Amino acid sequence: MTAVPRSLIVNADDFGQSAGINRGVIEAYERGIVTSASVMVCWPAAAAAASYARAHPWLSVGLHFDLGEWTFRDGGWHTIYMWVDPDDSSAVEREARMQLERYRDLLGHDPTHLDSHQHIHRRAGVHEALERIAAELQVPLRHCSSVHHCGDFYGQSQTGEPLPHLIAATTLAAMLRGLPAGVTELGCHPGYADDVESMYRAERRIELRTLCANEIRLVIADEQIRLVSFCDVHGR
C-alpha cells in the first residue's frame, strides 16, 4: 500500500524582534529544519531580518502581526507593550494594514502567509481584520487554511510554567512520527533572547538546539516527510 504523502512547514515566529532572535532563526534555517519565518515589522531588528530574507529567497517569509505582548505573573496577565487596543476594531484594522505596508517596504513583496504574535488573531475583532487581508492577498492565515497548524512544540504552559520536555528532541521526534497526511505547519520560536523582554526566553535556546539536532533530520528522512515552505505550497 502506498503511503499518503506528508509535508512539513517549520515556521519560526518572531523574526525581527531582536538581533538575538534573528540569529537564532537564521541558525535554525541554515543548520536545522526551519523552512519559513514570520517577521515582526515594528521592531528595529526587522530591517536586518528583511535584509537576510531578501538575500535568501528560499526562506519563505510571512507577516507576524503584532498588537502587543502579555505575560502572566502574580496570578494574572500583565501588558509588556501594546501598540493598539485589541478591542478597538478600527484601530486594529489600521494597524494591520500599516504593518502590511511596512512589510512590503522592507521585503519588496507581499507576505507568503499571515499569523500573529501570541495568536492574537484568534480574538474576535482581530480575526476579522486578518481574515480580510489574507483573502485579499490569497495567502493562508494560521488556523484558517488547509495547512494544519501544530502548536505542540512549545516549552511552557498557557500561564508560563516551564515545560522543557515538550521541546526536547525525543518529543519532537515523536511528533514527527505521528504527523498526519497532508501539509502541517510546525510553529517554533528559536533564538537567543537575552536582548528582549519576554516570558518565553530560556526555551528559545532549547528549541534551537532541538531544531538543529541530527536525530531530527534522521527521523524526517526515515519517515519520508517532505520539508516544504509556504512558497512551495502556494506556488509563490
In a domain, 67, yes or no: yes
Q: Which amino acid is at 142?
A: R
Q: Domain of residue 144: give its range.
A: 6-234
Q: Is 60 exceeded by the pLDDT of residue 3?
A: no
In a domain, 58, yes or no: yes
Q: Do the strands 68-73 and 76-82 form a parallel or antiparallel pair, or are they unpaired?
A: antiparallel
Confidence of residue 182 (pLDDT cuts 50, 70, 90): very high
What pLDDT does 132 receive?
A: 96
pLDDT digits (tens, 9 = 90+) for 83-136: 999 999 999 999 999 999 999 999 999 999 999 998 999 999 899 999 999 999
Q: Is 60 exceeded by the pLDDT of residue 218?
A: yes
pLDDT digits (tens, 9 = 90+) for 183-196: 999 999 999 988 98
CB atoms inside a 10 Å sphere around CB 58: 11
Q: Is 80 exceeded by the pLDDT of residue 2?
A: no
The count of structural domains within the chain is 1
Q: Which of 210-234 are b and which e, b meaning 16 or more Cβ less than 10 Å from the residue's Cβ?
A: bbbbeebeebbeeeebeebbbbbbe
In a domain, 1, yes or no: no
- C-alpha distances in angstroms, 169 versus 7, 21, 172? 19, 20, 5
CB atoms inside a 10 Å sphere around CB 189: 26
- The CATH code of the domain that includes 41 is 3.20.20.370
The rounded Cα 214 to chain-centroid distance in angstroms is 22
Please give the Cα distance from 61 to 9 (Å, whole number): 12
pLDDT digits (tens, 9 = 90+) for 6-41: 999 999 999 999 999 999 999 999 999 999 999 999
Please give the Cα distance from 227 to 144 (Å, whole number): 21
Q: What is the average pLDDT score of the chain?
A: 94
- DSSP per residue, 126-187: HHHHHHHHHHHHT--BTTSSSSEEE----SB-TT--B-GGGGSHHHHHHHHHTPPSEEEEEE
What pLDDT does 1 receive?
A: 34
What pLDDT does 162 receive?
A: 93
**This prediction's pTM:** 0.94
Active-site residue among 13, 14, 66, 115?
A: 13
In a domain, 94, yes or no: yes
Would you call 13 a catalytic residue per the annotation? yes
Which of 75-79, 123-127, 137-141, 151-155 bottoms out in mean pLDDT, i.e. has the lowest?
75-79
In a domain, 189, yes or no: yes
Q: Percent of the chain having pLDDT more than 90?
A: 82
